[in-house]
Structure 1
Amino acid sequence: MSAGQNPVVGEAVPQDVWDSLSQDANAVLVDVRSAAEWAFVGGPDLSDLGRAPLQVEWATFPGMSHNADFANQVLDALGGAAPSQAFFICRSGARSLSAAQTMAQTFAARGETVICVNVKEGFEGDLDDAKHRGALSGWKARGLSWVQS
């Protein structure tokens, strides 16, 4: 990889992500939201696929300071095995895009070919007219499996 060149990160809607995870046992979903979001909002449930999302914070609540060790924590969560595809999800798709870009560069620098994809719409999606999330778009609104602790 030449200097200044960035790997391309794809984007996919939640249903396409679920379909890909269903068809590719070597694909992973990385939930980059904060621990507070996991606890109070819930998250994608992949138990029907016999696995769970990796949970690695991109930024920590309450200050939402960037997790400088994010890439290493993802690599640790993967246990040294590069997935075929890595899907990244956050609340609405912004943090997860940055996370996907970071990991695409990390995998490329390690000489690993991993397709990194941002989950468009995220877990909760866009704000509706009442300024609420979770009903208009996103993983939950699309009727995909999720769980709240």
Structure 2
Amino acid sequence: MSTEAAPTISEVNPREAWDILSKDAAAVLVDVRTRAEWGFVGGPDVSSLGQDVIQLEWKSWPGMAQNPDFVGALLDQLEATPSRLLFLCRSGVRSLHAAAAVADALAEQGQAVPCVNVAEGFEGDLDADDHRGGFNGWKARGLAWRQS
């Protein structure tokens, strides 16, 4: 039995994530939502920062089965070791699980890359009318995004 603690996942709000990405060119944003979400809802646009978003499904719609190749596929897409990885989903739940899985895999490899969850996610929490996108989250905070 291992006595080592699992890596801790820190959290930032979308504005803080934007600030990190704008100040740290080695930080990487990973959007773990589904293809349907990217296509119908849109996604963060960090091109003005000279960066790209990695889009990689943590779970696939419609059945929401977990992507068994997520960690390996993400690590294969990284061109260099990032200073930190920021994970984003719709509301901050899937991204937290994805961040933990990647942090665990990196720790097993002896790499200390901070994995950060973007709390509130892209669309944020439900408002009083049970709608997303206006209460909090990437879009509601007025950060750059685009519809595909």
TM-score normalised according to structure 1 size: 0.96
Q: Deviations over 1:75-126 (max 9, x none)?
A: 11113x2211100000000000000001111111111111110000000000
Question: Alignment length, in residue pairs?
Answer: 147
Identity fraction in percent: 56
Q: What residue in structure 1 maps to residue 118 of structure 2?
A: 119
Report the AA paired with residue 44 of structure 2. Answer: P
Q: What residue in structure 1 maps to residue 99 of structure 2?
A: 100
The Cα of 1:5 is off from its aligned counterpart by 2.0
Structure 1's unaligned 5+ residue stretches are none
Task: Give 1:4-83 correspondences, 5 Å limit.
Answer: 5-79=5-79, 81-83=80-82
Using the alignment, how far apart are the partners of 1:58 and 1:90 within structure 2?
9
Segments ≥4 residues shifted beyond 3 Å? none
Assess if the C-alpha contact under 8 Å between 1:82 and 1:112 holds in 2: no
Report the AA paired with residue 147 of structure 1. Answer: R
Structure 2's unaligned 5+ residue stretches are none
Using the alignment, how far apart are the partners of 2:12 and 2:114 within structure 1?
12
Is residue 2:120 matched to residue 1:129? no
